[in-house]
Amino acid sequence: MTHQPVVASNLPAPVGPYSPGMQFERLIFVSGQGATDPMTGQLAGSDTASQTAQCLRNVQTILHAAGSDLQYVLRCGVFLVDMSEFPDMNAVYARTFGDHRPARTTVEVSRLPHEGLRVEIDCVAYRP
């Protein structure tokens, strides 16, 4: 049994000494993804809805690199800097996942590691 990092050339560089994802057998652990647009290097927007959409696109890019996709997500962790923005995040999240409902924890945090970042999302998925 071995584990290996999951990397994708079309992702923003991690802000610390970690891999965007790790794969162990069929499990994929995706590190927290912020809303940086890999094409511009800038936040995808200043509001929670547009940032949530970009976070989930970044998560999906890592899952694709590992041979998986959003319908194979088992669990997500969502970190918001303001819980009053939960409805905005939740609406985008629900549209993105459709009828698939992974387990999820959502918490409010005091800060995230990028100025202006409103949301960060991580997940655990599997490769079919």
Q: Are 120 and 112 in contact (CB under 8 A)?
A: yes
Q: What are phi and psi of 4, to 5 degrees?
A: -150, 150
The letter for the amino acid at 58 is N
Return the CATH number at 76.
3.30.1330.40
pLDDT(45) > 90: yes
pLDDT(30) > 90: yes
Residue 20 corresponds to which tokens in the numbers above? 């965007």
Q: Are 70 and 60 in contact (CB under 8 A)?
A: yes
Calculate mean pLDDT across residues 91-105: 98
* Residue that has been written with the tokens 């499990």 in this structure: 27
Encode pLDDT of 71-89 as tens digits.
999 999 999 999 999 999 9
Rounded CA-CA distance 74/65 in Å is: 17
121 lies in which domain range? 3-126
Q: How many domains does the chain have?
A: 1
Encode pLDDT of 6-25 as tens digits.
988 887 777 788 899 999 99
Rounded CA-CA distance 77/88 in Å is: 16
